[in-house]
Structure 1
């Protein structure tokens, strides 16, 4: 029997067992599926085997959503909700296990790019800072930068971050919409960062307008680490498409950055990353 056939049998068996457990324990099933995004991204290490089987069955039964505006509204409503803090807590180990080994290389490349700049960049802004781990790390990696700002929609998580990183006087955390913050506080000589999936929650037109907005600030850098659907070929389908079961949006990031006027100093992808493709873009004014 091939590995593929064995995998299919295992998945079918897991679905059957999961559905049986969902039927037998409806209260637990309701707790697991109280929110679509939490259900999908719940850390498996925090679940016992029956709960994992139930989660697998529940995820497979999620209804498909095709209304782009509804998807964007649903995702935004989750990230401003207090439940987002549970997900950020669940993913703290991702910094050590995923970000450092798989994503930190792009910031080594950024260091080399900055050496070629005659102007100094005094501010780094992380859009969608989450639990603040990445911003705290970057403040140590870039000692020449004076100010590090972490923006997130979750006011609860921002308060957690303020307390957790209170000893790091170079970082600050702000509850804000990214576009509103750029309108009110954005300036040139700033580095913008998104990490582990943030821009994927923007509608394509919203993301294009946001990148246009950042570009108009003047001298800026942007590092985006974002997921794409494994089947999203930018050449055959240059536009955004749905990705995953949340769902979110798989954007053609090189195209959108170039449309805004940015020059790309880096573009790469890692396929098979968490079941999809991880895209790395380095752009500058």
Structure 2
């Protein structure tokens, strides 16, 4: 960090702390809980709120307890800020997903053409605002059933109302994905995660989850997930913490292979900021 950046950051911290002291009610609203604070979209904040948020983030204590991290993240995505977050990032479907992620689904089409297997179900885990599932329904018209699973009952209800007249091929379910798949998972399914879902699984649970899916029968999987940019899978093969939430930077190639999958695609690229990679996995178990 150069001298100018240090001065700017130092000034922002001082001003932010001053505003936190002068506006305690607003500070409490911004820092309703750790995860909400981290996920506040700066576009929707005033300058004063941005300074306060910056100062509050600097005071966050590091968490090393993996079980506690998983608990906090699950609580956020189930009960608290999920719907607000999905509203704030709604335009990222157009600005990020379409230009940067859709290529992998073109590769998936080629994979499907190369095998004599009927895939008639697509399940998106962590469907959020449903835009990705809606897009996939148009890209894969041959797939009969498309299911979007999300922890947030409120968001699922919003999605059902939003798409009930415009797209009758997609359905939305409020559930823990592992629980739903244990009851409803079947062979001939394509599973998808888009830009941050598996990062909230504990490593052991994610490995169990992928192994269970692999045992369902013939499966395709497309995972689009963030990783810490400094997470070298060769030298550090196990899960690491990353980010302010924090969440888990998993070694996805290793976990998929351990579960019985082979990879037909693997790529990484810097995403959002220099500390984060976008990892894209295409996998199959046959």
TM-score range, shorter chain: over 0.9
Counterpart mapping for 1:40-189 below 5 A: 40-167=38-165, 168-189=167-188
Q: Which runs of 5+ in 1 are unaligned?
A: none
Aligned residue in 2 for 1:266: 265
Q: What does residue 20 of structure 1 align with?
A: 18
Q: 2:10, 2:95 → 1: CA distance? A: 29
Contact 2:222–2:281 at 8 Å: present in 1 too?
Answer: yes
Match of 2:220 in 1: 221
Corresponding residue SS for 2:62:
coil
Instruction: Using the TM superposition, give the Cα deviation of residue 26 of structure 1 relative to its aligned residue in structure 2, in angstroms.
Output: 0.8
Give the match's secondary structure for 1:188. Answer: coil
Structure 1 136/183 Cα, relative in aligned 2: closer, same or farther at 3 Å? same
Counterpart secondary structure, 1:237: coil
Cα separation, 1, equivalents of 2:197 and 2:271: 19
Q: Which residue of 2 aligns with 1:278?
A: 278
Residue 77 (structure 1) shift? 1.2
Paired residue for 2:239? 240
Q: Is the 8 A contact 2:125 2:148 kept in 1?
A: yes
Residues 153 and 175 of structure 1 are in contact (CA less than 8 Å); yes or no, is this contact kept in structure 2? yes
The answer to whether residue 8 in structure 2 is matched with residue 10 in structure 1 is yes
Deviation readout 1:85-143 (Å, 9 max, x if unpaired):
11111111111111111212111111111111211211100001111111111111111
Tell me the CA shift for residue 18 of structure 1: 1.1
Q: Distance in 2 between matches of 1:171 and 1:151?
A: 11
Instruction: Report the secondary structure of 1:80's partner residue.
Output: helix
Listed as ranges, the gaps of 5+ residues in structure 2 are: none
**1:248-280: CA deviation from partner (whole Å, max 9, x where unpaired):** 100000000000010100000012533411100
Distance 1:62 1:165 in 2: 39
- Counterparts of 2:51 and 2:130 in 1: how far apart (Å)? 31
Which residue of structure 2 lines up, in the alignment, with residue 192 of structure 1? 191
Contact 1:82/1:156 (<8 A) preserved: no
Contact kept in structure 2, 1:225 and 1:280, CA below 8 Å: yes
How many residue pairs get aligned? The number is: 283
SS of alignment partner, residue 79 of structure 2: coil
1:128-178 CA-to-partner distances (Å, cap 9, x unmatched) read 111111111111111111111000111111001000111211100001111
Shift of 1:43: 1.4
Q: Give 1:35 deviation, angstroms.
A: 2.0
